[in-house]
Amino acid sequence: MGYLSRCHSKGSFIFKTFLKHKRSATSLAHSQGSISKETVDKEFTTDIKIDIKTISKLEKISLVDFDNDGGIQRLEAAIRFAQKLREVQLHPSVKPMYSVLENERLHLREDKVTEHTMEKIFKTLGPTLLTLKEFGFAYGVQGILMRRNLEKLWLMKNMTQSDYNVFLVDSDQITANLKDLSDIGLNNPPFGIAEISSVKNTWNESYFPPKSKPIKHRIAKVTTIYEGDGDIISVKDLFYKKQRERKSWWRRITENPNIFHIGEIKQERGKEYVEIEARLPFGNIVVETIYYKPSAKLYLRGGEFSNNLKIVENITSLDWGCLALICDGYVEIDDCKEMQVHPNLAPYKAYSKANIKPEDNEQTRIALNNLSIHLIQLLREQGIEAVLMNLAKQPEVFQVPYILTVDNESLKNGFIRVVSQRTLCGEIVHITKLAQHVYDLTTIPM
């Protein structure tokens, strides 16, 4: 079942749950077939209120978070609107709309079949990003920065922005660190232990020959300890909530949010787990696994802890995640083939290039090159990854969100042209405001 079909099914369930009562409003029938919004609002004034039990049930079924004031208000508004649509009776001559722009011709792109395989994407984008080989992941000069940026976003979400204490520890020192936390008095749940390490285990084995050895890949893991009894919300509910949060996070940092989905809950050795996978044209890639463990005894072997603790654990593969984001960002527009990624993930945010004309004399050429170098220095001082392209033979190989161009006019008035690679739209920014402007463009709050 496709993404839209599932959304429709979930929507149908929500509306049917609340609209089982008998229609009490007066049916409207107009010979002309048109009904004004004011008439509908006047005829149908039924108020909709949703109790907490129903919200909890909807969250479990749809894996959509409604448990906040804004989410509840939007849900109630959607139900009220749907109820109006159900109860209004139009004249039989009124046909359903097949387009929101009925008075205009919609131009569709050419229906051309394109085959996007992982091998083709890697070959087209070049070796500076990432390739997947039998022995594992091979990063280029851009790919290694992109994985680092993904790791930074992961730390920001799972540690810095966490609602409870999350401590980053060395994988070999977990027991000792847990004892230290117990001695200090920071062992009151909920709290989390984060690890970033390289492991050898089987993920996405369909991309390797049969009986291949597990490859090494870099993971980021948070093990969250919860109290089992006495909580208003059960730990199992927190397990479901973690699934929604992690899927939402992946969807915020990708080009096509609908590629990320949560799989079915599975059981293994007394614990439950689900996988978040990216559904790409050539196949699915698992990027994260979330576990529910009914007992924390084996994990909490250091220090003094309650016997009634449970675990919700999410493990992110930074390597497989980076690969999925690169493949999702690959686009072909006519003869142009490039990668579009979230600005926060982009390895380099901008590059600078001098626009030198054949008629420019040597002094002008030197001045333009020096100005281009100065722009890169300004960006780097602001903490922005930037690369100088004055002498590059293939600058298009570097996948940057923005291109800075200097020309003869720039030498006169200090204005720099900033062009977006994604939209090809340009703007003129003065050199005194350039660094802050590029920073604002490429650093989006998460």
pLDDT of residue 402: 92
Dihedral angle sign, alpha carbons of residues 52, 53, 56, 58: negative
Distance CA 289, CA 266 (A): 11
Q: Are residues 425 and 394 in the same domain?
A: yes
For residue 67, what are the domain limits?
A: 52-80
CATH number at residue 362: 3.40.50.800
Q: What's the pLDDT at 81?
A: 78
Q: Are residues 426 and 294 in the same domain?
A: no
pLDDT tens figures, 111-121: 665 667 888 88
Whether 101 contacts 88, CB under 8 Å: no
154 & 284 share domain:
yes
With respect to residue 313, please indicate whether it lies within any of the assigned structural domains: yes
Pick the last residue of a domain from 329, 359, 386.
329
Same domain, 240 and 325: yes
pLDDT reported for residue 409: 92
What is the rounded distance in angstroms from the CA atom of residue 360 to the CA atom of residue 366?
10
Statement to judge: residues 178 and 71 lie in one domain:
no
How are beta strands 266-268 and 336-339 bridged, if at all? unpaired
Query: Do 324 and 374 share a structural domain?
Result: no
Is residue 335 included in any domain, yes or no? no
| pLDDT score for 23 | 37
Domain contains 104: no
Residues 321 and 367 in one domain: no
Q: Hey, how many other C-beta atoms are within 10 angstroms of the C-beta on 380?
A: 13
pLDDT mean across residues, the chain: 81
Q: Is residue 161 part of a domain?
A: yes
Q: Which residues of the chain have pLDDT under 70?
A: 1-47, 59-68, 96-115, 229-233, 302-305, 334-335
Q: Which of 429, 445, 405, 404 is nearest to 437 (CA)?
A: 429
For 265, the token pair is 């809950």
What is the pLDDT at residue 229? Answer: 64
Range 188-223 burial, b when 16+ CB lie within 10 A, else e? ebbbbbbbbeebeeebbeebbeeeeeebebbbbbbb
Note whether 214 and 276 are same-domain residues: yes
- Domain membership of residue 44 (yes or no) is no
pLDDT tens digits, residue range 149-159? 999 999 999 99
Residue 195's CATH number: 3.30.930.10
The count of structural domains within the chain is: 3
Q: Are residues 232 and 300 in the same domain?
A: yes
Among 329, 363, 380, where does a domain finish? 329
3-state SS string over 173-191? Answer: HHHHHHHHHHHHCCCCCCE
In a domain, 95, yes or no: no
Asked if residue 338 is part of any domain, the answer here is: no
| Residue 11 falls inside a structural domain | no
Last residue of a domain, one of 276, 295, 329: 329
Instruction: Tell me: do 392 and 317 sit in the same domain.
Output: no
pLDDT reported for residue 375: 94
Residues 373, 425: one domain? yes
Tokens found for residue 4:
């839209």
Same structural domain for residues 355 and 324? no
**Alpha-carbon separation of residue 198 from 145, 192, 315, 345, 348 (angstroms):** 17, 20, 12, 21, 25
